[in-house]
């Protein structure tokens, strides 16, 4: 008994911890994305599988190599880069040439995360940085949606296997995603199709229902802020309801707006990336409303059919300001405590 | 103290004027060559061109080619000196910034017979297809801009349709993937032609009288 | 003449080389960044802009150094701006006379050489305090330093953005262009990339130096 | 033919073709004065102000130059008149409102000979904007500049405590952020139809 | 601050309570150790001055040392015995402090020596203050600040409410709970003294909702018409911090850098209050206190009335411990200090002795630390509304000045909520303790 006394830990309080840790959070996000991943593979076949696998591999390997090169301890064990890779892959068209997927993955982690100092310091969502650079670099390939034939589980579209640095060739283009057909042909898609994912679109965005289920799981496990997605979805819903009431022939209704495009995936999994979003609850509301408004602005009045990515990136850029202005008032002070200037 | 500034100022002014005077003829020659080339491109068959200004009375009178007014049209003439058509400028907001283009109007065909983009900042590979996409440019081989019987508006205002859906001679087939830029081109042409054609058509004679002068 | 001067006086060669590396106007001083980014989308534009800027820089350094004794302190800046504006106007017309297309590609950025911080900066900080020869060498060094970085930038952007270099297609028919390189964002990224490389080399050097010192 | 609406000119100058992020004008102050949010805001205000002043000046000069047919004096007179007007306004502000002067004053000399200001003057004349259009353009450019500057400052401040690799510190980081912001602003394309 | 009718403060956390093992067991008297070590300073303030010699025989409750000035309290003999030695005693901070080594007489009946009584209804405030000081009562909530010192109200201030802190928000601890259940009458008497001394018109006892029996006991003990109310508060840490408690009960915010006095309130722990009510009517001195001995590594968990000066080793050996004991700390798990040696004695400030086994500490011992992911959990936990994330980043770069000037470091009261919730396992409050000390030092030298 005396012996055991000698090995007493001396640590300072608190001697309790909530038990959550970064790696469990990230692992659970990956878990929540699993149904969406499976659905993507079901809907788009081998091409989606290869896209997602390449995306994750490119991100993980980039992180590994960069850590090694700079002599940092390797950080792939915290799952965060896996989440980044998975989400990045989900925002890409399923038949994107794999070399582009890989290039974007390197950019996502290298430019979007590592140069800023790694986990916790990426001021922009790395997955979306990867996508944004790809969209700017290869606007044609990023907006080509090949048809998904029944033999999708046994063969891949020609574009997927394009040689590095070569221009992809597409065999059959299915044409439009729901948003494109709405924007340029004023054609609406059935809400049930949007919910259950029987539409064309980016790899992981098509099944709104599974995305929501993943989100609810994370909210229940308290690993995700519910305020951000709710604020975004409410803003988009209200905004589109008002427009739709004003002129139903020009503006689509809220159900279409909410469930089409990357909004669900973006609102639930990407705007909620804690690193690049505000820290306070009030800040999260404001951030969500801002993103929702930007999405509507770009979708309705902008040149692009979809604006979720840009809206989230802009939200990321504004979030330091939100954190600066929405500082809670420090207890016992009148004006929110000390402030610069 | 101000003597120095004034001295330097005078010297500077001298240098500027000197260089300006030396380079002006060269620059002007190049400019008109450039314009000539553009006019010839939108008016196949033309070999020379001349500038005309719309006067307040609605007539067209010959003017020097470095006139900077914005109510200019350019007449193109073939080898024999007869009028091929008019080259007219149009501009409008594209995807990224204002697009300026020149289009050729043929009196005989009552159609637009060629366009050329003068200035655009559209995305390379997408928006800039309006300059190079063969399919798209085929729209302008003979784009119907007939006037109504009253002669004060286009009989069929130019229409923009989805790629591959052109069925009438006054329709423009869009470019897939660059809907916005191609639609902007169509809108620009519709507005510009709707304004200019009713004004130039009745005054075809104004352009022929000066054909020898160029 | 520069090479002669170099041989004659080691100091002179330092005057030139400092602009190339240690005090490179773009990489180190971050001056005159606007034209650097704006017209570096092809190697040709970059070179033209570099030469134009370099010319104005050299000429303004020389002029300013020559007149530095006649110009009273209070009106120094005004006079310098006057001189620079004149030089730029001259260059503007010369370029138009050489090629209108080039002039169009460079756009307003030729006129904007007037306000390029680099030129006024060198006039004020160097040429107004040094003799003709040193000012000339300084202008030369800075001009070349400006040019080569601009050229590097333009080459990379053209290479990826158009698959060509000085208009010569290098990768054949099926090359997929990286449009982003020609877009504004690409300008920022590529310059950042060169800067990273530059900093990295600097870091390696200083590390080696300190290592040598230790030994 | 410049019938473009004032609103669309404003949106175009502010968001779609943002002076700093798309046209690359005023990069030097953008890189130099974007480290602290309050400074950035004031710098933005100062730039907007000077842009308005120089837009008015440029409009007047251009009218005059067209009248006397001396296009070759454009550059030299723009720069001279803008610089001296700003100087005058600066003295005026100093007298009238020392508070405002303290807030904006230190930036004014920095800005006067800045390419965003001259660029604004040149672009508005090249596009043949009328008086009201010029003001809308200047306002849009100024607000856009401020927006870019302030967003940049927020990001840089957030990154102040980040464990960025050494070679990324300073200008390189600023350029990367600028590139990303520029990419964000691509989302606004097509807004001003 | 009353939102939706629930009386509470904003933010805070909900750690597992772990109180079930001890909260129903009655308080038991603890045996005397062979030697008791009574330090001269067990409170915040100056050490007391000994009034007994080495070798002198003393009676339980006899005064051993007199207060030295106002910010000091008397010490009393925890047992009838002999002063073996006056020497140095190890303390929890690692420093050695002077004190008495007292050897109880095993045969003694351990009668408590009584002195001049102080009547709660006729004594003047000054008399009550003096009585509390000579009874040696200090804050038993953990801080051990001399209770009488709080009661001296400076010129120009007044107190309308005495707040009695029965929140006991720390996990594991149930001392206050048991004291309220078993000694409710003493608590009410104590409130009489305190109210009179402070000149307060009312008293409020704040009790967390997980102790309904305590609330009922106190309510039952309050005589009809007495201006004493019992308020039941939501269970939330740190409900018991006086700032939070006063905000919850009175809706008043104590200004930054200020005291409850600044908002017309005084806050006392229930155990302190109960001791006042127990000792003052008899003129006795504080020689023992109720302590929770708990935690998974303890076999005989419970609340014990333990003589001051009982060595920790004797305490643990008496209750019995598991073999794989890994960590012992005094106080609750959120704020308590871990001990490195078991030779230190129980003092007036000890609220609990909690022992954990390897199993509980495995995750805590060397948790993998990640960079701050800006999840904002800490921001939403901090009851003072600070930004622990930003403070943590600044602390790592030792920018203490900036932390204090721009981010209100000095308002942090070290509750540890931020560290508790941080998924990156950043030792936030630990950083802040260091930073605050550094700032204090800088300000002193400046
Ligand atoms: C989270 C997320 C964000 C997206 N953001 C954008 C965007 O900002 N812009 C865009 O064009 N497509 C975006 N997409 C893809 C679009 O949903 C899809 O490409 C669009 O509906 C097709 O439009 P297109 O006509 O431009 O091809 C995003 C996808 C996801 C999953
Ligand atoms: C980076 C980027 C640049 C683009 N540039 C243009 C452009 O210059 N012109 C254009 O019409 N569309 C451009 N688009 C595409 C439009 O957003 C939109 O997808 C397209 O006009 C829809 O055409 P579709 O209906 O034929 O698919 C661009 C898209 C991206 C992502
Ligand atoms: C984070 C924190 C939590 C506290 N929790 C309690 C508590 O639960 N019960 C309590 O009596 N005192 C608690 N205190 C101490 C009180 O703030 C206050 O000092 C005490 O109630 C005063 O009474 P005393 O002097 O009689 O001990 C806490 C202090 C802090 C900083
Ligand atoms: C709710 C949630 C959403 C996330 N979304 C993203 C995301 O959109 N993009 C990304 O790169 N990482 C995301 N992550 C993972 C993690 O935050 C990311 O790897 C860091 O941004 C990298 O520093 C998310 C994590 C969580 C908990
Ligand atoms: S010592 Fe612990 S249990 Fe007691 S009041 Fe303080 S925090 Fe609460
Ligand atoms: S320890 Fe300090 S910073 Fe952390 S939650 Fe408590 S008061 Fe806030
Ligand atoms: S001791 Fe504190 S400051 Fe130092 S590395 Fe660890 S957490 Fe960071
Ligand atoms: S809880 Fe930890 S990881 Fe989250 S914001 Fe606070 S310090 Fe950062
Ligand atoms: S070159 Fe544009 S601001 Fe310096």
Structure tokens at E36: 């008791």
Give the position, in ligand 4's atom list, of the atom nearest the Cα of A276: 21
Atom of ligand 1 at shortest range from CA of A310: 8
DSSP E378: H
Output the pLDDT for position C24: 85
Going by alpha carbons, the residue nearest to atom 8 of ligand 4 is A270
Give the contacts of A293 (CB within 8 A, at least 6 positions apart). A235, A239
Q: Give the whole-angstrom CA distance, residue D189 versus residue D12.
A: 9
Of chain E residues 152-191, which have a CB less than 8 A from chain A? 171
Q: How far is CA B173 from the centre of its chain?
A: 21
Q: Which stretch of C114-123, D180-189, E169-178 has the lowest confidence by average pLDDT?
A: C114-123
Instruction: Summarize the confidence of residues B93-119 as an average pLDDT.
Output: 90
Confidence band of A340 (pLDDT split at 50, 70, 90): very low
* Residue recorded with tokens 């350019």: B74
| Local confidence band at D91 (pLDDT 50, 70, 90 cut-offs) | confident
Task: Please identify every stretch of chain E with a pLDDT value under 70, giving residue numbers as ranges.
Answer: 1-7, 363-366
Could you tell me if D76 lies within 8 Å of chain B, comparing CB atoms?
A: yes
Q: What's the pLDDT band for C1 if we cut at 50, 70, 90?
A: very low
The secondary structure of chain D in percent helix, strand, coil, rounded to multiples of 5, reads: 80, 0, 20
Computed over every residue of chain A, the mean pLDDT equals: 89
Asked if the model's pLDDT at residue A42 lies above 60, the reply is yes
Asked if residue D183 has pLDDT above 90, the reply is yes
Rounded Cα–Cα distance for residues A99 and A101 (Å): 5
CB E168 within 8 A of CB E241: no
Query: Scanning every residue of chain B, which has its alpha carbon at the shortest distance from the alpha carbon of D80?
Result: B9
Q: What does the pLDDT look like over A217-273, one tens digit per residue?
A: 999 999 999 999 999 999 999 999 999 999 988 888 899 999 988 999 999 999 999
Interior CA angle at D167 toward D161 and D173, to 5°?
60
pLDDT score for D104? 66
Interval between CA E419 and ligand 7 midpoint (Å): 13
> Which of A5-14, C108-117, D131-140 is modeled with the greatest confidence?
D131-140
Is the pLDDT reported for residue D166 higher than 60?
A: yes
Q: How far is D156 from chain E (nearest CA, A)?
A: 15
Distance from CA of B205 to the nearest CA of D (A): 25
pLDDT at B88 over 90: yes
Residue E374 zone, left/alpha/beta (φ > 0; ψ -120 to 50; rest) = left
Q: Which DSSP state fits A124?
A: S
pLDDT for position C210: 84
Looking at the complex, report in whole angstroms how far the Cα of residue D15 sits from the nearest Cα belonging to chain C: 14
Q: What is the DSSP letter of A303?
A: S
Q: Is B16 on the interface with D (CB under 8 A)?
A: yes
Q: Which of C171, C174, C179 sits opposite A138 (nearest CB)?
A: C179
Residue at token pair 């915010």: E253
Q: How many angstroms does the Cα of residue E376 sit away from the middle of ligand 8?
A: 6
B117 CA → ligand 2 middle, Å: 18
Task: Sort out which chain C residues have CB atoms less than 8 A from D171's CB and list them.
Answer: 30, 195
Task: With CB atoms and an 8 Å threshold, state whether E371 touches D163.
Answer: yes
**Burial of A172 from C-beta contacts in 10 A (0-12 / 13-18 / 19+):** exposed
Mean pLDDT score, B7-29: 88
Considering only CB atoms, which chain E residues are within 8 Å of D163?
371
Is residue A338 pLDDT above 60, yes or no?
Answer: no
Q: Which residues pair with E82 in a beta bridge?
A: E57, E103
Distance CA E240, CA E331 (A): 13
Model confidence at B109: pLDDT above 80? yes
Measured CA to CA in angstroms, residue C21 lies from C25, C142, D32, D46 at distances of: 9, 9, 21, 34
The Cβ of residue A125 has, within 10 Å, a number of other Cβ atoms equal to 30
Residue B127 CA to ligand 2 centre (angstroms)? 7
CA pair distance D30, C184, nearest whole angstrom: 15
Task: Decide: E427 in ligand 7 pocket, CB within 6 A.
Answer: yes
- B177/A143 touch (CB, cutoff 8 Å), yes or no: yes
Q: Measured from the CB, is residue B179 less than 6 Å from ligand 2?
A: yes
Of A51-65, B71-85, E410-424, the one with minimum mean pLDDT is B71-85
pLDDT tens-digit readout, A17-33: 888 899 999 999 999 99
Mark yes or no for CB contact A138/C171 under 8 Å.
no
> Taking all residues of chain C, what is their mean pLDDT, rounded to a whole number?
85
Q: Which of E399, E424, E426, E427 to mutate to test the pocket of ligand 7 (most atoms within 8 A of CB)?
A: E427
Residue range C41-88, pLDDT digits in tens: 899 999 999 999 999 999 999 999 988 888 887 778 778 888 888 999
State if residue B126 touches ligand 2 by the CB under 6 angstroms criterion.
Answer: yes
D124 CB near a chain B CB, below 8 Å? no
User: How many angstroms does the Cα of residue B211 sit away from the middle of ligand 9?
Assistant: 50
User: Who lines ligand 9 at CB under 6 A?
Assistant: C 32-34, 116-117; D 26-28, 114-115
Nearest-CA distance from D70 to chain B in Å? 9
DSSP per position, A51-111: HHHHHHHHHHHHHHHHHHHHTPPP-GGGSHHHHHHHHHHHTS-TT--HHHHHHHHHHHHHT
Residue ranges with strand state E in chain C:
164-165, 168-169
User: Which chain D residue is nearest to residue A67, measuring alpha carbons?
Assistant: D165
Closest residue (by CA) to atom 1 of ligand 8? E422
The yes-or-no reply on E/C contact (3 CB pairs or more, < 8 Å) is no
Amino acid E5: pLDDT: 40
Residue C51 main-chain phi, psi, to 5 deg: -65, -45
pTM: 0.88
pLDDT in tens, A108-148: 999 999 999 999 999 999 999 999 999 999 988 898 887 77
> Is any Cβ of chain C less than 8 angstroms from the Cβ of A133?
yes
E414 alpha carbon to ligand 3 midpoint, in Å? 12
Q: What is the pLDDT of residue A5?
A: 55
ipTM for this model: 0.86
Distance separating alpha carbons of residues A55 and A26, to the nearest angstrom: 17
Shortest CA distance from E259: residue in chain A: A332
| Per-residue pLDDT, B67 | 60
Using the structure block, give the residue that is written with the tokens 């400006």. C146
Nearest-Cα distance to chain D for B165, in Å, is 24
* Confidence band of D83 (pLDDT split at 50, 70, 90): confident
Q: Give B93's contacts in chain D (Cβ within 8 Å).
A: 4, 8, 12, 192-193
At residue C10 the predicted structure's pLDDT band, cuts being 50, 70 and 90, is very low
pLDDT at A4: 47
pLDDT > 70 fraction of chain B, expressed in percent and rounded: 94
Q: How far is A143 from chain B (nearest CA, A)?
A: 7
With CA atoms as reference, report the closest residue to C183 among D142, B95, D8, D126: B95
Distance between CA E298 and CA E302 in Å, rounded? 9
State whether the beta carbon of E372 lies less than 6 angstroms from ligand 7. no
Residue E4: per-residue pLDDT = 38
Q: Rounded distance, CA C147 to CA C20, Å?
A: 9
Tell me how crowded residue E312 is: count the other CB atoms within 10 A of its CB.
22
Cβ of B180 within 8 Å of Cβ of A143? The answer is no
Q: Are E9 and E1 in contact (CB under 8 A)?
A: yes
CA–CA separation, B42 and C90 (whole Å): 34
Report the C-alpha gap between E64 and E77 in whole angstroms.
Answer: 6
Q: Identify which of D107, D122, D83, D90 has the alpha carbon closest to the alpha carbon of residue C79.
A: D83
Contact B125 A185 (CB under 8 A): no
Q: Is the CB of E392 under 6 A from ligand 8?
A: yes
- Contacts E430 to A, Cβ<8 Å: 12
Calculate how far, in angstroms, residue C32's C-alpha sits from the geometric centre of ligand 2: 33
pLDDT at D180 over 90: yes
How far is ligand 3, taken at its centre, from the CA of residue E333, in Å? 14
């Amino acid at each position: 008994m005396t012996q055991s006394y000698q090995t007493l830990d001396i640590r300072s309080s608190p001697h309790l911890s909530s038990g959550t840790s970064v790696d469990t959070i990230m692992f659970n996000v990956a878990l929540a994305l699993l149904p969406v991943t499976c659905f993507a593979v079901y809907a788009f076949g081998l091409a989606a599988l290869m896209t997602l696998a390449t995306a994750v591999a490119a991100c993980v390997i980039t992180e590994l190599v960069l850590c090694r090169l700079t002599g940092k301890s390797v950080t792939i064990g915290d799952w965060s880069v896996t989440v980044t890779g998975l989400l990045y892959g989900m925002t890409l068209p399923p038949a994107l040439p794999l070399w582009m997927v890989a290039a974007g993955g390197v950019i996502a982690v290298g430019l979007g995360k590592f140069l800023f100092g790694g986990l916790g310091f990426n001021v922009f969502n790395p997955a979306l940085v990867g996508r944004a650079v790809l969209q700017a670099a290869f606007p044609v390939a990023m907006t080509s949606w090949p048809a998904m034939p029944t033999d999708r589980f046994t063969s891949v579209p020609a574009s997927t296997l394009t040689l590095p640095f070569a221009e992809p060739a597409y065999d059959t283009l299915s044409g439009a995603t729901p948003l494109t057909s709405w924007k340029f042909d004023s054609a609406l898609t059935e809400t049930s199709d949007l919910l259950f994912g029987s539409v064309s679109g980016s790899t992981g965005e098509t099944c709104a229902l599974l995305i929501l289920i993943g989100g609810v799981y994370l909210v229940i496990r308290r690993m995700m802020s519910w305020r951000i997605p709710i604020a975004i979805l409410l803003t988009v819903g209200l905004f589109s309801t008002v427009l739709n009431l004003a002129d139903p022939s020009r503006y689509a209704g809220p159900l279409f707006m909410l469930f089409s495009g990357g909004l669900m995936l973006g609102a639930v999994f990407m705007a909620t990336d804690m690193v690049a979003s505000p820290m306070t609850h009030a800040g999260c509301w404001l951030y969500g409303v801002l993103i929702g408004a930007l999405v509507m602005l770009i979708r309705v009045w902008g040149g692009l059919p979809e604006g979720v990515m840009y809206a989230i990136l802009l939200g990321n850029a504004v979030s330091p300001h939100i954190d600066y202005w929405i500082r809670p008032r420090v207890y016992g002070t009148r004006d929110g405590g000390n402030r610069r200037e | 103290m101000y003597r120095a500034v004034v001295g330097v100022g005078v010297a500077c002014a001298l240098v500027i004027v000197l260089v300006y005077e030396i380079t002006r003829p060269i620059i002007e020659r190049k400019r008109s060559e450039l314009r000539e080339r553009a006019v010839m491109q939108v008016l196949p068959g033309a070999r020379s061109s001349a500038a005309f200004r719309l006067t307040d009375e609605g007539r067209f009178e010959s003017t020097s080619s470095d006139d900077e007014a914005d109510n200019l049209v350019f007449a193109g003439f073939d080898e024999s000196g007869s009028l091929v058509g008019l080259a007219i400028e149009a501009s409008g907001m594209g995807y990224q910034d204002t697009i300026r283009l020149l289009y050729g109007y043929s009196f005989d065909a009552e159609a637009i017979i060629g366009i050329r983009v003068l200035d655009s900042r559209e995305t390379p590979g997408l928006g800039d297809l309006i300059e190079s996409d063969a399919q798209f440019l085929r729209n302008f081989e003979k784009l119907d801009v007939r006037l109504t019987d009253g002669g004060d508006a286009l009989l069929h205002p130019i229409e923009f349709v989805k790629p591959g859906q052109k069925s009438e001679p006054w329709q423009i087939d869009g470019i897939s993937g660059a809907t916005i830029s191609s639609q902007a081109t169509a809108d620009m042409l519709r507005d510009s032609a709707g304004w200019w054609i009713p004004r130039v058509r009745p005054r075809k004679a104004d352009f022929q009288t000066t054909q020898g002068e160029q | 003449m520069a090479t002669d001067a170099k041989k004659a006086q080691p100091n002179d060669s330092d005057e030139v080389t400092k602009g190339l590396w240690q005090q490179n106007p773009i990489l180190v001083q971050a001056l005159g960044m606007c034209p650097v980014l704006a017209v570096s989308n092809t190697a040709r534009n970059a070179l033209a802009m570099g030469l134009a800027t370099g010319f104005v820089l050299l000429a303004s350094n020389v002029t300013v150094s020559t007149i530095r004794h006649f110009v009273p302190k209070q009106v120094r800046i005004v006079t310098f701006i006057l001189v620079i504006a004149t030089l730029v106007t001259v260059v503007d017309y010369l370029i138009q006379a050489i090629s209108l297309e080039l002039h169009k590609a460079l756009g307003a950025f030729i006129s904007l050489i007037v306000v390029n911080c680099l030129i006024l900066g060198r006039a004020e900080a160097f040429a107004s305090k040094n003799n003709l020869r040193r000012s000339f060498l300084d202008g030369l060094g800075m001009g070349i330093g400006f040019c080569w970085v601009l050229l590097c930038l333009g080459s990379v952007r053209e290479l990826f953005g158009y698959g060509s270099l000085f208009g010569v297609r290098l990768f054949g028919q099926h090359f997929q262009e990286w449009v982003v390189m020609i877009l504004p964002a690409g300008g920022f990224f590529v310059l950042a990339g060169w800067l990273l490389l530059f900093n990295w080399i600097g870091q390696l050097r200083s590390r080696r130096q300190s290592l040598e010192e230790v030994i | 033919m410049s019938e473009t609406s004032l609103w669309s000119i404003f949106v175009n100058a502010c968001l779609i073709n943002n002076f700093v992020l798309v046209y690359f004008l005023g990069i030097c102050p953008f890189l130099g004065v974007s480290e602290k949010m309050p400074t950035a805001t004031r710098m933005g205000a100062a730039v907007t102000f000077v842009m308005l002043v120089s837009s008015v000046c440029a409009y007047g000069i251009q009218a005059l130059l067209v009248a006397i047919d001396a296009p070759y004096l454009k550059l030299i007179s723009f720069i001279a008149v803008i610089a001296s007007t700003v100087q005058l306004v600066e003295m005026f502000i100093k007298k009238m409102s020392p508070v405002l002067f303290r807030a904006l004053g230190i930036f004014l000399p920095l800005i006067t000979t800045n390419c965003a200001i001259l660029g604004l003057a040149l672009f508005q004349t090249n596009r043949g904007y009328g008086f009201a259009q010029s003001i809308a353009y200047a306002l849009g450019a100024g607000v856009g500049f401020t927006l870019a500057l302030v967003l940049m400052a927020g990001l840089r401040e957030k990154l102040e405590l980040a464990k960025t690799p050494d070679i990324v510190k300073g200008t390189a980081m600023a350029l990367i952020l600028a590139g990303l912001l520029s990419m964000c602003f691509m989302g606004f394309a097509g807004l001003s139809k | 601050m009353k939102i939706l009718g629930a009386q509470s403060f904003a933010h805070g956390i909900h750690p597992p309570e772990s109180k079930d093992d001890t909260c129903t067991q009655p308080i038991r008297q603890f045996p005397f150790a062979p030697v008791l070590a009574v330090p001269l300073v067990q409170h915040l303030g100056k050490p007391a001055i000994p009034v007994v010699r080495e070798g002198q025989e003393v009676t339980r409750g006899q005064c051993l040392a007199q207060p030295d000035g106002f910010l000091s309290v008397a010490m009393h003999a925890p047992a009838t015995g002999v002063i073996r030695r006056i020497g140095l005693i190890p303390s929890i901070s690692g420093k050695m402090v002077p004190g008495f080594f007292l050897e109880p007489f095993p045969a003694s009946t351990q009668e408590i020596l009584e002195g001049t009584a102080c009547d709660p209804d006729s004594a003047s405030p000054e008399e009550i203050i003096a009585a509390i000081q000579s009874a040696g009562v200090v804050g038993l909530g953990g801080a051990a600040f001399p209770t009488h010192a709080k009661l001296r109200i400076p010129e120009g201030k007044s107190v309308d409410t005495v707040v009695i802190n029965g929140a006991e928000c720390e996990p594991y601890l149930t001392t206050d709970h048991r004291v309220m259940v078993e000694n409710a009458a003493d608590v009410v008497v104590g409130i009489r003294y305190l109210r009179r001394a402070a000149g307060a018109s009312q008293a409020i006892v704040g009790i967390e909702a997980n102790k309904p029996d305590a609330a009922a006991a106190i309510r039952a003990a309050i005589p009809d018409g007495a201006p004493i109310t019992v308020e039941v508060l939501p269970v939330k840490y740190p409900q018991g911090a006086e700032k939070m408690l006063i905000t919850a009960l009175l809706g008043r915010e104590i200004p930054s850098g200020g005291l409850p006095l600044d908002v017309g309130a005084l806050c006392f722990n229930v155990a302190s209050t109960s001791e006042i009510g127990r000792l003052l009517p008899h003129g006795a001195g504080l020689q023992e206190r109720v302590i929770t001995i708990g935690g998974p590594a303890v076999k005989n968990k419970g609340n014990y009335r333990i003589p001051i000066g009982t060595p920790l080793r004797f305490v643990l050996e008496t209750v019995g411990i598991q073999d794989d004991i890994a960590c012992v700390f005094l106080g609750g798990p959120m704020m308590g200090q871990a001990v490195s040696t078991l030779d230190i004695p129980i003092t007036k400030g000890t609220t609990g002795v909690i022992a954990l086994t390897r199993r509980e500490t495995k995750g805590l011992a060397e948790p993998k630390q990640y960079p701050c992911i800006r999840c904002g959990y800490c921001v939403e936990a901090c009851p003072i509304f600070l930004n622990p994330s930003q403070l943590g980043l600044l602390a790592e770069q030792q920018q203490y000045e900036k932390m204090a000037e721009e981010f209100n470091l000095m308002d942090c009261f070290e509750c540890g909520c931020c560290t508790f919730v941080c998924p990156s396992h950043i030792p936030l409050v630990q950083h802040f303790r260091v930073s605050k000390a550094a700032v204090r030092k800088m300000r002193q030298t400046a």
